[in-house]
Amino acid sequence: MLLIDSPSTNAYFNIASEEYLLTHFPTEDIFLLYVNAPSIIVGKFQNTLAEINLDYVREKEIKVVRRMSGGGTVYHDLGNLNFSFHTLLGQNDFGDFSVFTKPVLTMLNKLGVPAELKGRNDLLVDGKKFSGNAKLARHGKMIQHGTILLDSEMEVLADALKVNPLKFIDKAIKSTRSRVTNLIDYLPAETTTEQLKDWLREEILENNPQAEKYTLTPEDIAGIEKLQKEKYETWDWNFGFSPQYNFQKAIKIPAGFIEIHLDVVHGIIEKAKIFGDFFASHPIEDFESQLIGKKHEISEIENLLKSVDLTAYFGKVTVEEIRELFV
């Protein structure tokens, strides 16, 4: 088994590294540890916009990254440790999460933390979740990865993942919001993610004496950064990959009540309908038609709004007011 500690706290890099290691180490068992700066990690089959508070995420410059595995959306920051096991497919039951959560539980139990696996893939302490786990199988290998909330900013977590449930009616898998907790309340107050890494590595080595440390080479880092740039930093992967959904929102502004309905497929607006009691000198259908084919992405929408005479469609309005319809 190769023990790898990521040199980066960039979520784009770390999520890309999982795919890179999967394809470039086709037979080796790997145990990867990494810590991400503030970021939201979205499950592969989820509708990103339905999972996040977009305005808050943009204001706080929180990265949004889609991972390869299914499951729900999670928030990462420097108080959160992430672990990732890579093994040959078939060596373990794909549906069994206990094998690769056992080292985490054993480590914590030795430290006096009453942690346990509950349900399909969550680790709990006193009934509160501190770790979610997900899996994927590809190219003859399996990855199981998970989080460990040590001292994460819970207020940011709640605000970043807060979204109006009435906005979206989609066919994706929405995350289940669980009661979560930090382990710092169960460990010495000075415990850091680095110490948590050390304890977890020691537990892995105790049961895998042949395991050895592997440092990513310059070639590895270049390969990961290439994948990061071409895939994991892109709107197409992080937002456009989202499945079909319907977006609905209404606002009340001085010009009147305005309600919008969008049908979106892989991030692209396919149908648009606008209702309201505003006064328009031009047919609103003309504006609706200009939305077709645009990305449901705020910068692209803003460019459109700035390029047309909005007063002809909605009366006396501003770009900022109409922008609110789309977020």
Q: For residue 172, what is the domain's CATH number?
A: 3.30.930.10
Whether 177 shows a pLDDT value over 70: the answer reads no
d(CA 66, CA 159): 19
Of the candidates 77, 226, 99, the residue with the CA atom closest to the CA atom of residue 153: 77
* pLDDT (mean) for 265-275: 92
* pLDDT (mean) for 256-277: 91
Residue-wise pLDDT tens digits, 111-120:
999 999 887 7
Q: Identify whether residues 220 and 254 lie together within a single domain.
A: no
Among 239, 259, 283, residue at a domain's last position: 239
What domain range is 278 assigned to? 245-325
Q: Identify whether residues 164 and 289 lie together within a single domain.
A: no
Residue-wise pLDDT tens digits, 186-203:
999 899 999 999 999 999
Q: Identify whether residues 232 and 251 lie together within a single domain.
A: no
Q: Identify whether residues 134 and 253 lie together within a single domain.
A: no
* pLDDT (mean) for 296-301: 92
Among 170, 204, 239, residue at a domain's last position: 239
Q: Identify whether residues 152 and 301 lie together within a single domain.
A: no
* pLDDT (mean) for 214-224: 97
Residue 314, domain CATH? 3.30.390.50
* pLDDT (mean) for 227-240: 94
The pLDDT assigned to 138 comes to: 86
DSSP states along 245-294: EEEEEEEEETTEEEEEEEEEETTEEEEEEEEES---SS-HHHHHHHHTT-
Among 190, 214, 239, residue at a domain's last position: 239
Whether 165 shows a pLDDT value over 80: the answer reads no
Number of domains in the chain: 2
Q: Identify whether residues 222 and 165 lie together within a single domain.
A: yes
Q: Identify whether residues 70 and 214 lie together within a single domain.
A: yes
Q: Identify whether residues 21 and 116 lie together within a single domain.
A: yes
The mean of the pLDDT values for the chain is 90
Residue-wise pLDDT tens digits, 56-105:
998 999 999 999 988 888 999 999 999 999 999 877 666 677 888 899 99
Q: Kindly report which listed range (48-57, 86-95, 304-313) carries the lowest average pLDDT score.
A: 86-95
Whether 224 shows a pLDDT value over 80: the answer reads yes
Q: Identify whether residues 138 and 255 lie together within a single domain.
A: no
Whether 240 shows a pLDDT value over 90: the answer reads no
The pLDDT assigned to 8 comes to: 97
Residue-wise pLDDT tens digits, 10-36:
999 999 999 999 999 999 999 999 999
Q: Which amino acid is at 119?
A: G
Q: Identify whether residues 174 and 273 lie together within a single domain.
A: no
The pLDDT assigned to 166 comes to: 63
Of the candidates 54, 65, 57, 63, the residue with the CA atom closest to the CA atom of residue 298: 54
Q: Identify whether residues 174 and 25 lie together within a single domain.
A: yes
Q: Identify whether residues 133 and 56 lie together within a single domain.
A: yes
* Beta strand pairing call for 122-125 and 256-265: unpaired
- pTM equals 0.81
Whether 167 shows a pLDDT value over 80: the answer reads no
The pLDDT assigned to 2 comes to: 96
